[in-house]
């Protein structure tokens, strides 16, 4: 039996298989509100046969958006806009739906990637970002404002409020974004965090705020629903955040009941030097899993079914999170299941697409003549 297409339980949530659609920013919201693009995009992903769909990084407050087009869940309007999108997904798909909740920190107020991705000037609709320290991501950028004690409380409460809204919307699980150079990763990394108070300096201090956010979200979200964390296991910069510190952070999260670790890397500085290659981030997930025993998600140039199966079968990770690959091939799980002898859920409207050589792909299905 294929490991990739075997079920996995996270608290009371059982995933039909180990394929996870990673959160992918679409930069297509309006004032934080989901649009018809989200209906089309998430609806498409929900018919893919994956075990879980994680909605893109969803800002916990307007100032925490990466771009003006970021999705948010921080007021009644943003909550109302997501409601019909999720209702449509639920009507036509059995897939588990999670949400990644996030704050961009010093990487906020940026243009969308297809518009260059640079910082948006204040006179062009930008805003002053907030961060652990008043250090810009790139030289020449407007520095962020260092977050004070009141700001820490406000942001932590914003994560809680978003988690509660997610629960009202019926979200099955939450992933807290502590990767890719955004706010919680900024607190963890000595590259971005040069505070001299209780939230900077030592590893214990740098972990403090991300752990406070996790504790607050875990307490606010129903105990039977899982909460995971996405981390960057390395800054790919000498003297930055690394896998040993990631393991220490994960061990603290394990004490607090984290349900999975989604292990990525990079993003805190343009000076990073990353060696790319198929599965280049899998060793990070493997290291975290080996050291802590927690379920991990492997990411990063995993594009082939056998490659994904081998990662899981060898015990290096428990899930495969697919991002760009599933945008290119929205039926990636179907094709992987056909290759590996697995089965996927598909809407009945699509059952007749099953190739004659793959009769078991959607289970035991027969059709009457017409």
Tell me the catalytic residues.
182
Q: Are 129 and 145 in contact (CB under 8 A)?
A: yes
Q: Say what the pLDDT of residue 357 is.
A: 77
Q: What is the CATH number of domain 8-353?
A: 3.20.20.70
DSSP 1: -
Q: What are the residues facing 53 on neighbouring strands? A: 21, 97
Q: Say what the pLDDT of residue 337 is.
A: 94
Q: Which of 262, 258, 266 is nearest to 230 (CA)?
A: 262
Q: Is 86 exposed, middle or buried (0-12, 13-18, 19+ CB in 10 A)?
A: buried
CA count, 13 A, side-chain hemisphere, 196: 0
Q: Say what the pLDDT of residue 151 is.
A: 98
CA count, 13 A, side-chain hemisphere, 44: 12
Dihedral, CA of residue 153, residue 157, residue 160 and residue 166, to nearest 10 = -140
Q: Is 231 exposed, middle or buried (0-12, 13-18, 19+ CB in 10 A)?
A: buried
What tokens appear for 211 in the block? 């752990």
Q: Are 131 and 144 in contact (CB under 8 A)?
A: yes
Ramachandran category for residue 140: left, alpha or beta (phi over 0 → left; psi -120 to 50 → alpha): left
- Would you say the C-alpha torsion 343, 56, 93, 73 has a positive or negative sign? positive
Q: Are 157 and 163 in contact (CB under 8 A)?
A: no
What mean pLDDT, rounded, does the chain reach? 95
Count of other CB atoms within 10 angstroms of residue 351: 14
What tokens appear for 367 in the block? 């059709």
CA count, 13 A, side-chain hemisphere, 335: 12
Measured CA to CA, the distance from residue 324 to residue 197 in angstroms comes to 40
At 18, is the secondary structure helix, strand, or coil? coil
Measured CA to CA, the distance from residue 172 to residue 55 in angstroms comes to 11
Please report, in angstroms and rounded to a whole number, the separation of the first and last CA atoms in the chain: 35
Q: What are the residues facing 59 on neighbouring strands? A: 72, 102
| Phi, psi for 112 (deg, rounded to 5) | -60, 155
What tokens appear for 207 in the block? 């972990």
The per-residue pLDDT string of the chain (370 residues; one tens digit each, 9 = 90 and over) reads 899 999 999 999 999 999 999 999 999 999 999 999 999 999 999 999 999 999 999 999 999 999 999 999 999 999 999 999 999 999 999 999 999 999 999 999 999 999 999 999 999 999 999 999 999 998 889 999 999 999 999 999 999 999 999 999 999 999 999 999 999 999 999 999 999 999 999 999 999 999 999 999 999 999 999 999 999 999 999 999 999 999 999 999 999 999 999 999 999 888 888 888 888 999 999 999 999 999 999 999 999 999 999 999 999 999 999 999 999 999 999 999 999 999 999 999 998 888 877 777 886 444 343 4
Look up the pTM and report it.
0.96
Report pLDDT digits (tens) over 76-125.
999 999 999 999 999 999 999 999 999 999 999 999 999 999 999 999 99
Q: Which of 25, 38, 11, 29 is nearest to 102 (CA)?
A: 25
At 58, is the secondary structure helix, strand, or coil? strand
Q: Which of 298, 288, 296 is nearest to 322 (CA)?
A: 298
Report H helices in the chain.
Answer: 36-46, 76-92, 149-168, 183-188, 203-220, 243-255, 282-292, 305-313, 324-328, 332-340
The total number of residues shown for the chain amounts to 370
Count of other CB atoms within 10 angstroms of residue 100: 24
């Amino acid at each position: 039996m294929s490991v990739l297409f075997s079920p996995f339980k996270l608290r009371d949530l059982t995933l039909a298989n180990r394929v996870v659609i990673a959160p992918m920013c679409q930069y297509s919201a309006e004032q934080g509100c989901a649009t018809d693009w989200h209906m089309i995009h998430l609806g498409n992903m929900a018919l893919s046969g994956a075990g879980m769909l994680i909605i893109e990084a969803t800002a916990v407050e307007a100032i925490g958006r990466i771009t003006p087009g970021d999705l948010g869940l921080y007021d009644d309007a943003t909550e109302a806009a997501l409601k019909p999108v999720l209702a449509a997904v639920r009507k036509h798909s059995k897939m588990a739906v999670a949400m990644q909740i996030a704050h961009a920190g010093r990487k906020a107020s940026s243009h969308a990637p297809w518009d260059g991705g640079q910082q948006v000037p204040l006179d062009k609709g930008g805003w002053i970002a907030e961060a652990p320290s008043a250090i810009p991501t790139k030289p020449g950028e407007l520095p962020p404002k260092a977050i004070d004690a009141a700001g820490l409380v406000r942001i932590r409460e914003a994560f809680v409020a978003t988690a509660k809204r997610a629960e009202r919307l019926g979200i099955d699980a939450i992933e807290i974004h502590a990767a890719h150079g955004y706010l919680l990763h900024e607190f963890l990394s000595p590259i971005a965090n040069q505070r001299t108070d209780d939230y900077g300096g030592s590893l214990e201090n740098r972990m403090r705020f991300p752990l406070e956010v996790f504790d607050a979200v875990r307490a606010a979200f129903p105990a039977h629903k899982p909460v995971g964390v996405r981390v960057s296991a390395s800054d790919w910069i000498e003297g930055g955040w690394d896998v040993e510190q990631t393991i220490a952070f994960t061990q603290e999260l394990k004490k607090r009941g984290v349900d999975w670790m989604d292990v990525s890397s990079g993003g805190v500085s343009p000076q990073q030097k990353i060696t790319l290659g198929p599965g280049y981030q899998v060793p990070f997930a493997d290291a975290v899993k080996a050291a802590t025993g927690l379920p991990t998600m492997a990411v990063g140039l995993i594009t082939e079914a056998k490659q994904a199966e081998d990662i899981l079968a060898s015990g290096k990770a428990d899930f495969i999170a697919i991002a760009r690959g599933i945008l290119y091939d929205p039926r990636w799980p179907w094709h992987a299941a056909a290759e590996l002898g697995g089965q996927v859920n598909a809407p009945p409207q699509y059952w007749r697409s099953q190739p004659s050589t793959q009769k078991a792909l959607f289970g035991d299905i027969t059709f009457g003549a017409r």
